[in-house]
Chain A
Amino acid sequence: MAIQSSNAPNPYPHRHLLTCERLTEGEINAILDIADNAADQSRRFDKKRDLLRGRTLINLFFESSTRTQSSFELAAKRLGADVMNMNVSTSSVTKGETLIDTAITLNAMRPDIIVVRHHAAGAVELLSQKVDCSVINAGDGAHQHPTQALLDALTIRRAKGRIAGLIVAICGDILHSRVARSNIDVLNRLGAQVRIIAPSTLLPAAPERLGAQVFTDMWKGIEGADVVMMLRLQRERMEGSYVPSSREFFHFFGLDHEKLARAKPDAVIMHPGPMNRGVEIASTIADHSRSVIREQVEMGVAVRMAVLEVLARNLPRDDDAMPDEQKPAPAVKR
Chain B
Amino acid sequence: MNGREPHSGKKPLAFINARLIDPDSKRDEPGGLLVRDGLIADLGPHLRRNAPPGVEVVDCKGHVLCPGLIDAQVFAGEPGAEHRETLKTASHAAAAGGVTTIVVMPDTNPVIDQVALVDFIQRRARDNASVHVHTMAALTKGLLGEEMTEIGLLKRAGAVAFSNGKSSIANTRVMKNVLLYSKDFGALVVHHTEDPYLSANGAMNSGEVASRLGLPGVSKTAETIVLERDVRLVEMTGGRYHAATITCAESLDVVRGAKKRKLPVTCGVSINHLTLNENDIGPYRTFFKVRPPLRREEDRVAMIRGIASGDIDIIVSSHDPQDADVKRRPFAEAADGAVGLETLLPAALRLHHSGELSLMVLLKAMTSNPAKLLGLHSGRLAKGAIADIILVDLGEPWVVNKDSLRSRSKNSPFDEAKMQGRVLRTLVAGDTVYQYAGVERT
Contact = CB atoms under 8 A, between A and B. Distances in A.
B183 interface: yes
A200 B181 contact: yes
Interface string B150-168: 1111000000000000000
- Considering residues A239, A248, A252, which has the most beta carbons from chain B within 10 angstroms of its beta carbon? A248
A201 B147 CA distance: 13
Contacts of B140: 240
Nearest to A242: B177
Contacts of B183: 200, 216
The majority secondary structure among interface residues of chain A is: loop
B281 to A, nearest CB: 39
Contacts of A252: 152
A239 B237 contact: no
B230 to A, nearest CB: 17
Contacts of B177: 201, 241-242
Nearest to A244: B150
Interface in A157-172: none
B153 A247 contact: yes
Given A240-B141, A241-B147, A248 B152 contact: yes
B184 A240 contact: no
B184 A245 contact: no
Contacts of A199: 180-181, 184
Contacts of B141: 240, 244
A251 interface: yes
B181 A201 contact: yes
A21 interface: no
Nearest to A243: B181
B166 to A, nearest CB: 20
B139 to A, nearest CB: 10
Interface string A238-263: 01111111011001100000000000
B390 interface: no
Interface residues of A, number: 16
Interface in B34-76: none
B415 interface: no
A201 B152 contact: no
B17 interface: no
Interface string B162-189: 0000000000001001001101100000
A245 B148 CA distance: 9
B148 A240 contact: yes
A248 B184 CA distance: 13
A33 B201 CA distance: 71
B146 interface: yes
Contacts of A240: 140-141, 146-149
A241 B171 CA distance: 11
B303 to A, nearest CB: 34
Contacts of A201: 177, 180-181
A97 interface: no
Most central of A199, A200, A239, A244 by chain B CB within 10 Å? A244
A217 interface: yes
Contacts of A248: 150-153
A249 to B, nearest CB: 9
A241 B177 CA distance: 7
Nearest to B181: A201
Interface string B129-148: 00000000000110000111
Contacts of B152: 244, 248, 251-252
Contacts of A244: 141, 147-152, 181
Most chain B C-beta atoms within 10 Å of own C-beta, residue among A200, A241, A247: A200
Nearest to B238: A200
Contact of B150 (A216, A242, A247): A247
Contacts of B150: 244-245, 247-248
A199 to B, nearest CB: 5
Contacts of B146: 240
A173 B181 CA distance: 13
A175 to B, nearest CB: 11
Nearest to B140: A240
A241 B174 CA distance: 7
B269 to A, nearest CB: 30
Interface in A203-260: 216-217, 239-245, 247-248, 251-252
A216 B146 CA distance: 23
A216 B185 CA distance: 9
Contacts of B151: 244, 248
22 contacts: A199-B181, A199-B184, A200-B183, A200-B237, A201-B181, A216-B183, A216-B184, A217-B184, A240-B140, A240-B141, A240-B148, A240-B149, A241-B174, A241-B177, A242-B177, A243-B148, A243-B181, A244-B150, A248-B150, A248-B152, A251-B153, A252-B152
Interface of A: 199-201, 216-217, 239-245, 247-248, 251-252
Given A199-B184, A200-B183, A241-B177, 13 more contacts: A200-B180, A200-B181, A201-B181, A216-B183, A240-B140, A240-B141, A240-B149, A242-B177, A244-B141, A244-B152, A244-B181, A248-B151, A248-B153
The 10 A-B residue pairs with the shortest CB-CB distance, nearest first, are: A240-B147, A248-B150, A200-B180, A216-B184, A244-B150, A201-B181, A244-B148, A201-B180, A201-B177, A240-B148
